[in-house]
Chains A and B, each alone.
Chain A
């Protein structure tokens, strides 16, 4: 057994990997929240439900239509994104000018409905989704065993997050988006179709959650409440990160996953609460969050 300074390296790196995987999902979800928040100034409470929807859609695609994992990875985010677009157009648009608390409550209601429907149809016990053939097995490293699928999750999520970051921070489209968050009316005057941009942004943010759901299906059991539990953690991460920046959302998401993984190794009793404790500490020291701008 490989040990270093009395630390079981297999166990430590194992938990670090689990932490990185959780962190990947945190990052994808908080990134989606940050994008939607940036342009619409609303917190999409249904983001967790969309993640759950992504996982179920992948499962249903495989079991009802025989669509494999790779197709699901492309099609499901599109479908979930379309759901988001529908939701934005039909439900959120009519109350866009009301207090933002109402949109929070509205998306909460949507989340309850979705979760209730899936519980009703599939029951609350989880369902399994096999790891795609190409990613079965793993690599034996000197200090740990690295399952291929888990490595894929971390790599793919980081790539998607980085691409999103690049798109928003470095391209012209992203510049419009950022300008739209600063002054929507002015952008409208310049001939940019802001309502369309809002709709598409919402769709994209939700699609990120759907993507995370497909990725999660083979590692966690697919169950109706998989999103709601995750979402509260992501909210804590958003408070820690500060939602001020896209990069902040990604970094805080990954970082908190790692913090959780380390806690699971060194002090397992606190692993379910450590992120909330970090939130308390950050609130005490820096109420605007690590990457947030002071209001």
Chain B
């Protein structure tokens, strides 16, 4: 057990070093995209992987964070960290409302309720006057972090995004390993037993939902600053499907899985959209879904762990 902890912290250190060197080797905007989606997927996985709740409408929190941050950055002179904070809070607030409704149903109904609620929000953002409708919010300024660090520089922006990701990842890790996280796992494994032990299961689910929504909003706010754009794509249910796919590919219920999955999917998409296979993108995504479910349910990280366990 002790060696496992030591190897884990060593692994974390190596990964952190890689993350610090990465922007000097790879294109920073691509890396930022990976980090934003990784945070989104990790937030989503907090629900699916650790509480067993499949939210099929998580795009709404990504989009809400993006719109609020984008609107504030364009129309008020606030600094980026405040803009992101506002976007995160807004997503958390929407999450609190939606969560109250969604946790009243279980299993596949929960998935359907979250999907339908997200579609409600999609139509709202389509018609609302401040979102720019089909065009979205374009030309969102990145601004100056704390008023003096120029984020229009990609490298500086990258380290800001990395810091946000690390914060989010740390928070999720702490949540999962806290007593609260243990109760969530208990609910996932056997809900009636958790109820009979006296836990107010719906409250636990709701808090997990709010944390997940806020972190998804944090990812969306950050993404808006990176790409200087907030659009309907981020609220569309396709995006909700994509985050499910990222988590599934990486390995649900593992901490690193969604990160690996997000990196894999973003890389595949970037690669495909440039080449002649771009037209096949949905077919390929659908095929990955089917293959993962049929043959590969543990995902990349889960499979890797299994192989490690069997051979070493």
Q: Which residues of A contact B (CB under 8 A)?
A: 42-43, 91, 94-95, 98, 100-106, 108-117, 119-120, 228, 232-233, 235-236, 238-239, 269, 272-273, 276-277, 279-280, 283-284, 287, 295
Are A101 and B286 touching (Cβ within 8 A)? no
Partner of B282 from the list A100, A115, A235, A238 (CB cut-off 8 Å) is: A115
Give the Cβ gap from A224 to chain B, nearest Cβ, in Å.
9
Q: How far is the CB of A295 from chain B (nearest CB, A)?
A: 7
Residue pair A269, B127 in contact (C-beta under 8 Å): yes
Residue in A109, A233, A269 whose beta carbon sits within 8 Å of that of B287 in the complex = A109
A-B contact count (CB 8 A): 115
Contact A112–B289 (Cβ < 8 Å): yes
Task: Give chain B nearest CB distance to A112 CB in angstroms.
Answer: 3
Interchain CB contact (< 8 A) of B283 among A113, A232, A295 = A113
- Tell me the interface secondary structure of chain B in the complex: helix
CA distance A272 to B248 in the complex (A): 32
Flag if A106 contacts B116 (CB, 8 Å): no
Contact status of A110 and B290, CB under 8 A, knowing A116-B282, A283-B105, A295-B106: yes
- Whole-angstrom distance from the CB of A168 to the nearest CB of chain B? 21
Query: Which single residue of chain B is at the shortest CB-CB distance from A280?
Result: B101
> A106 touches which one: B112, B113, B284, B293 (CB < 8 A)?
B293
Cβ B108 vs Cβ A100 within 8 A: yes
Residue among B101, B286, B287, B290 making CB contact with A284, cutoff 8 Å: B101
Residue contact A236 to B108, C-beta cutoff 8 Å: no
Q: A108-B244, A109-B290, A276-B119 are in contact. List 16 more A-B contacts (CB 8 A).
A: A95-B293, A98-B297, A103-B293, A105-B293, A106-B290, A112-B241, A112-B285, A113-B282, A116-B280, A117-B283, A120-B279, A120-B283, A236-B116, A239-B109, A279-B113, A295-B106
- Cβ contact of A232, chosen from B104, B115, B289, B290, cutoff 8 A: B115
> Which residues in chain B, 64-106, are within 8 Å of chain A measured between CB atoms?
101, 104-106
**B283 near A116: Cβ-Cβ < 8 Å:** yes
From B105, B111, B286, A287 is in contact (CB under 8 Å) with B105
Interface centre among A113, A236, A272, A280 (most CB of B within 10 A): A113
B116 touches A279 (CB 8 A): yes
Given A95-B293, A108-B241, A236-B116, A113 and B286 touching (CB < 8 A)?
yes
Q: When chains A and B are docked, how far (Å) is the Cα of A278 from the Cα of B244? A: 27
Please indicate the chain A residues that have their CB under 8 angstroms from the CB of B283 in the complex. Answer: 112-113, 116-117, 120
Take A100-B107, A283-B105 as given contacts and tell me if A109 and B288 are in contact as well, using a CB distance cutoff of 8 Å.
yes
Chain A residue contacts of B287, Cβ below 8 A: 109, 113
1/0 per residue, CB under 8 A from A, across B104-135: the answer is 11111101110111011001100100000000
B237 an interface residue at 8 Å Cβ cutoff? yes
Residues from chain A with Cβ under 8 Å of B101 in the complex: 280, 283-284
Q: How far is the CA of A59 from the CA of B22 in the complex (A)?
A: 52
